[in-house]
Amino acid sequence: MELAEKVLAGEMRAVARAISYIENDHTQKEELIDTLYPHCGKAAVWGLTGPPGSGKSSLLDHIIDRERKRGSTVAVIAVDPSSPFSGGAILGDRLRMQKHATDSGVFIRSMASRGHLGGVAGATADVIKVLDAAGFDLIIIETIGVGQTEIDVVEMADVVLLLLVPGLGDEIQALKAGVMEIGDIFIINKSDRDDADKVRAEVEYVLGLKYTDDDDERNPVFMTSAKLNEGIDEMLAGVHAYFDKISNNGWLEQKRKKRIASEIKTILAAKIKNEVERYLREDNLLEHWVEQIYKGKRSPYAMINEKLQSFAWEYHSK
């Protein structure tokens, strides 16, 4: 496949086109992923999430700078599940990172999901494969908030960086809502604010309840100020140390296998759903069933159990 060959060669236009294939659920998308898949698995994948206003884009700017100085190539995917065309503020945030536009070692893209089989998270998983196969060392998934869809998206990452910031008024609500469960690294950004230490203490208290016996498992907490360019080196050193730890102790392998299992279920469920809908469209079959059930000739269970057997046989015989 010509497009896949160009992606593997690291051609950025081909990478952008491949991502568009995924966004639009192109007919050749599956062939593309099939071809690229043997070349995946080398990149580190970070998720960067937190409530709006936590300074994700500003911090991300500093992360890109430092990772490039380390010699790593960096790809950033900004996901906005609330917008089918990824417009608005998230594209505005990209303007802050225009200085990276001329750097061939940096790729930044806002991503939409116009009809992907596995929804936003499924689209993100496939985009990661494209960027991984293209040879990027580090892939960062940025989300605009911490809703359920964003949580599903960042769970595609090997390491999740959860940003909190003093002064938003919802820090503790976020902690109580279970958002803490997705974070591997906790970052209190805008640490130059007066109440930053209070937020850190609250986070460490919650983590202390989670890991009462094993300090080695406790998630790292860092203080940063993107505005003052402070604490970022220490935070990145901690992220790399954490990644090395999970690579060596088997956690990373477990996490990636769990992700594959989830992806299999999502794709399988979506394909079966599509087949069922196609089956029901044939000869107005659904309307016929409705009439029989409405007239009391068959219960929905009896009808469906009988048809499931014939449907399974038809599907198997293809």
**Statement: residue 116 has pLDDT above 80:** no
Cβ burial 52-62 (10 Å sphere, 16+ → b, else e):
eebbbbbbbbb
**Statement: residue 317 has pLDDT above 90:** no
**Statement: residue 112 has pLDDT above 90:** no
**Statement: residue 87 has pLDDT above 70:** no
Q: Of 131-140, 229-238, 255-264, 273-282, which range is least confident?
A: 273-282
Q: Which DSSP category does 220 fall into?
A: P
Q: How crowded is residue 264: how many other Cβ atoms within 10 Å of its Cβ?
A: 10
- Mean pLDDT score across all residues of the chain: 83
Alpha helices (runs of H) in the chain, residue ranges in sequence order: 2-8, 12-23, 29-36, 56-69, 89-94, 119-133, 148-154, 171-176, 196-210, 232-249, 251-281, 285-294, 300-316
Instruction: Find the mean pLDDT for residues 76-95.
Output: 57
pLDDT confidence of residue 143 = 83
Q: Of 51-55, 235-239, 241-245, which range is least confident?
A: 51-55
Band of residue 84 on the pLDDT scale cut at 50, 70, 90: very low
Instruction: Find the mean pLDDT for residues 44-49.
Output: 93
**Statement: residue 189 has pLDDT above 60:** yes
For the chain, what percent of residues have pLDDT higher than 70? 81
pLDDT confidence of residue 307 = 77
> Model confidence over 150-172: pLDDT tens digits?
777 778 899 999 888 887 665 55
> Model confidence over 210-231: pLDDT tens digits?
665 666 667 889 989 888 889 9
Band of residue 13 on the pLDDT scale cut at 50, 70, 90: very high
Instruction: Find the mean pLDDT for residues 102-116.
Output: 77
Between the CA atoms of 19, 23, 29 and 34, what dihedral angle is there, to the nearest 10 degrees?
60
Q: 236 CB contacts (<8 Å, ≥6 apart)?
A: 63, 66, 67
**Statement: residue 237 has pLDDT above 70:** yes
pTM above 0.75, yes or no: yes
Q: Of 48-57, 101-110, 206-215, 244-253, which range is least confident?
A: 206-215
Q: Are 61 and 123 in contact (CB under 8 A)?
A: no
Give the residue, 250 or 145, on which the prediction is more confident: 250
> Model confidence over 258-292: pLDDT tens digits?
999 989 998 998 888 888 888 888 777 888 889 98
Q: How far apart are CA 47 and CA 141, in angstroms?
A: 5
At residue 274, the 3 state secondary structure works out as helix
Q: Write down the domain spans for the chain.
A: 39-249, 263-316
Tokens 């992923």 appear where? 33
Q: Are 56 and 48 in contact (CB under 8 A)?
A: yes
Q: Counting Cβ atoms within 10 Å, is residue 9 exposed (0-12), middle (13-18) or buried (19+)?
A: exposed
pLDDT confidence of residue 297 = 84
For the record, the structure tokens of 261 come out as: 């299992």
Residue 7: which of 116, 142, 128 has the closest Cα? 128
pLDDT confidence of residue 70 = 95
190 conformational bin, left if phi > 0, alpha if psi -120 to 50, beta if neither: left
Question: Which residue type is seen at 292?
Answer: Q
Between the CA atoms of 151, 64, 34 and 25, what dihedral angle is there, to the nearest 10 degrees?
60
pLDDT confidence of residue 54 = 81
- Residue length of the chain: 318
Q: Counting Cβ atoms within 10 Å, is residue 122 exposed (0-12), middle (13-18) or buried (19+)?
A: buried
CATH homologous superfamily, domain 39-249:
P-loop containing nucleotide triphosphate hydrolases (3.40.50.300)
Instruction: Find the mean pLDDT for residues 241-245.
Output: 96
